[in-house]
């Protein structure tokens, strides 16, 4: 990512509503700037979709005004999952798709992110061009050239059919009882229909959005309510999505959670079994060591990207690979779609269940997660603790004790003044002790700098 950016982060522009730049006036200017830049790339038609936050109405109107002023036509999708907007951007041959969402964040936040005409995140060059255009005075197109807006009436149905098309041809979910938690977010009117139309008996929760309850004690970031519902309903499994539908967490019939690492393993193993995998599976620096070992046991290579689905995507595209994901539940199946998609990923796991005739609990047993301990250490000043001699020595000592059965990671936070100290290994007690030992060494090194 370029250091010259003022607004765009790794996943668009995001922040608290009412605090610059997440304000109506800025978003209108952003819409105008994006419209001017995108119009130079090709046709001037842009899709806008949003999640269920109350502020979505305000920002939808602001973007619409800005784009229209730039002479760009707008297609309004209404509430639509982020991956659904990426898909529809491609099928409508639009120049771009714009998502109004702060993903898994609470309702007080919102954000704007863009997809290219190919359903991928915009290139750095275009984002930088948009930022540059924001600094220009806003020139409104002549009245005859102003953009027109209309609402797409069948957006949900189009995306539902696409999701279903990624499931095994001729296969169905008959006989499966599934609890689906939509996090009171953008999938509330879509996900239950996808699974029920494929034959499942669906129990829906988190499908009553009111503008302020998105991701609140529900969904992929808070799967406890899904666990309780699966057990209470005697369901075969549960599916939890986040507010914009790009994350997936699942729960087996015992109420045990499967995170992104375990789901990625199940999909990779099924792909390898049925048709063989092309290239490596991509995880991140935070992916569990148990996933890496399990993937290598399948005869596949495993690579680690920086944390963030953007970096997984970059590594996949650079090497022409197709499958990657994060522990948090972002799973990317590029042989199916162009971005992380919670519903599509869930269908790939369900396909493995149907083909094998095995429960979710049995499918995950091929991977043993290693105990992992993460401790956040506050930084009193900007310093890369990984370069401090005392920290280097402490890391060496911990690595020596772990041997080949564990690993150590020091990762500065991208958003807060702290460093994340992570230790992973086979023995839970040892991992906890070594993580605390290393965290204390980091604190000591920081203190000695201040002195």
**Structural domain boundaries of the chain?**
13-153, 159-366, 372-450
pLDDT of residue 451: 62
Instruction: Give this prediction's pTM.
Output: 0.94
Question: Rounded to whole angstroms, how far apart are CA atoms 37 and 406?
Answer: 48
Residue 57: phi and psi, rounded to 5, are -60, -45
Q: Answer whether 75's CB lies under 8 Å from 63's CB.
A: no
Question: Rounded to whole angstroms, how far apart are CA atoms 64 and 72?
Answer: 9
pLDDT of residue 356: 95
Find the Cα–Cα–Cα–Cα dihedral 111, 115, 116, 118, rounded to 10°.
180
pLDDT of residue 2: 45
Structure tokens at 249: 């967490």
Residue by residue, DSSP assigns 149-199 as EEE-TTHHHHHHHHHHHTSPTT---TT-EEEEE-TTSTTTTTHHHHHHHTT
pLDDT tens for 309-344 read 989 999 999 999 999 999 999 999 999 999 999 999
Find the Cα–Cα–Cα–Cα dihedral 425, 430, 433, 438, rounded to 10°.
-40
Highest CATH level, class, for 13-153: alpha beta
- The domain covering 372-450 belongs, at the CATH homologous superfamily level, to Alpha-D-phosphohexomutase, C-terminal domain (3.30.310.50)
The active-site residue out of 44, 103, 225, 327 is: 103
pLDDT of residue 399: 96
pLDDT tens for 227-259 read 999 999 999 999 999 999 999 999 999 999 999
pLDDT of residue 10: 79
Q: pLDDT by residue for the chain (451 residues), tens digit each?
A: 445 788 998 789 999 999 999 999 999 999 999 999 988 876 679 999 999 999 999 999 999 999 999 999 999 999 999 999 999 999 999 999 999 999 999 999 999 999 999 999 888 899 999 999 999 999 999 999 999 999 999 999 999 999 999 998 889 999 999 999 999 999 999 999 999 999 999 999 999 999 999 999 999 999 999 999 999 999 999 999 999 999 999 999 999 999 999 999 999 999 999 988 889 999 999 999 999 999 999 999 999 999 889 899 999 999 999 999 999 999 999 999 999 999 999 999 999 999 999 999 999 999 999 999 999 999 877 788 999 999 999 999 999 999 988 999 999 876 678 999 999 999 999 999 999 999 999 999 988 887 6
Q: CB 304: neighbour CB atoms within 10 A?
A: 18
For the sheet containing 177-181, what is the strand order? 201-205, 177-181, 237-241, 248-252, 257-258
Active site residue 103: yes
Structure tokens at 141: 């197109």
CA distances from 450 to 215, 382, 383 (A): 40, 11, 11
Q: Do domains 159-366 and 372-450 have the same CATH topology?
A: no
CATH topology of domain 159-366: Alpha-D-Glucose-1,6-Bisphosphate; Chain A, domain 3 (3.40.120)
Question: Rounded to whole angstroms, how far apart are CA atoms 149 and 45?
Answer: 10
């Amino acid at each position: 990512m370029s250091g010259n950016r003022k607004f765009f982060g790794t996943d668009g522009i995001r922040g608290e509503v009412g605090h610059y730049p997440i304000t109506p006036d800025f978003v209108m200017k952003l819409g105008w700037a994006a419209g001017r830049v995108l119009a130079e790339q090709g046709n001037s038609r842009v899709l806008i979709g949003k999640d269920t936050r109350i502020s979505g109405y305000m920002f939808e109107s602001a973007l619409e005004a800005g784009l229209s002023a730039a002479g760009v036509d707008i297609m309004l999708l209404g509430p639509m999952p982020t991956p659904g907007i990426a898909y529809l951007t491609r099928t409508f041959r639009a120049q771009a798709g714009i998502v109004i969402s702060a993903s898994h964040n609470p309702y007080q936040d919102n954000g704007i992110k863009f997809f290219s005409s190919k359903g991928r995140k915009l290139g750095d060059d275009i984002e930088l061009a948009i930022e540059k255009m924001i600094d220009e005075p806003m020139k409104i197109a002549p009245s005859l050239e102003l953009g027109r807006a209309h609402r797409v009436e069948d957006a949900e149905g189009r995306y539902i059919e696409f999701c279903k098309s990624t499931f095994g041809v001729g296969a169905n979910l008959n006989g499966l009882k599934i609890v689906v938690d939509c996090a009171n977010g953008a999938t509330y009117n879509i996900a239950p229909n996808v699974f029920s139309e494929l034959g499942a008996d669906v129990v829906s929760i988190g499908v009553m959005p009111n503008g302020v309850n998105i991701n609140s004690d529900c969904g992929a970031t808070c799967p406890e309510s899904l666990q309780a519902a699966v057990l209470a309903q005697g369901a075969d499994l549960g599916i939890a999505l986040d507010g914009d539908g790009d994350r997936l967490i699942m729960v087996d019939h015992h109420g045990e959670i499967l995170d992104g690492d375990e789901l990625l393993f199940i999909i990779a193993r099924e792909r390898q079994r049925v048709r063989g995998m092309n290239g490596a599976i991509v995880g991140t620096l935070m992916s569990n060591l148990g996933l890496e070992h399990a993937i290598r046991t399948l005869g596949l290579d495993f690579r680690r990207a920086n944390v963030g689905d953007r970096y997984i995507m970059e590594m996949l595209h650079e090497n022409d690979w197709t499958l990657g994901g994060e522990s948090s539940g972002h799973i990317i199946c590029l042989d199916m779609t162009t971005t992380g998609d919670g519903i599509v990923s869930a269908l790939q796991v369900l396909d493995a269940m149907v083909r094998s005739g095995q429960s979710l609990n049995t499918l995950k047993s091929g991977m043993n997660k290693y105990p992992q301990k993460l401790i956040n250490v506050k930084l009193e000043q900007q310093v890369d603790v990984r370069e401090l001699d005392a920290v280097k020595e402490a890391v060496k000592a911990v690595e020596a004790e772990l041997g080949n059965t564990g690993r150590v990671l020091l990762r500065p936070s991208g958003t807060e003044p702290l460093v994340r100290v992570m230790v992973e290994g086979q023995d839970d007690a040892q991992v906890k002790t070594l993580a605390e030992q290393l965290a204390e060494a980091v604190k000591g090194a920081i203190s000695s700098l201040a002195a």
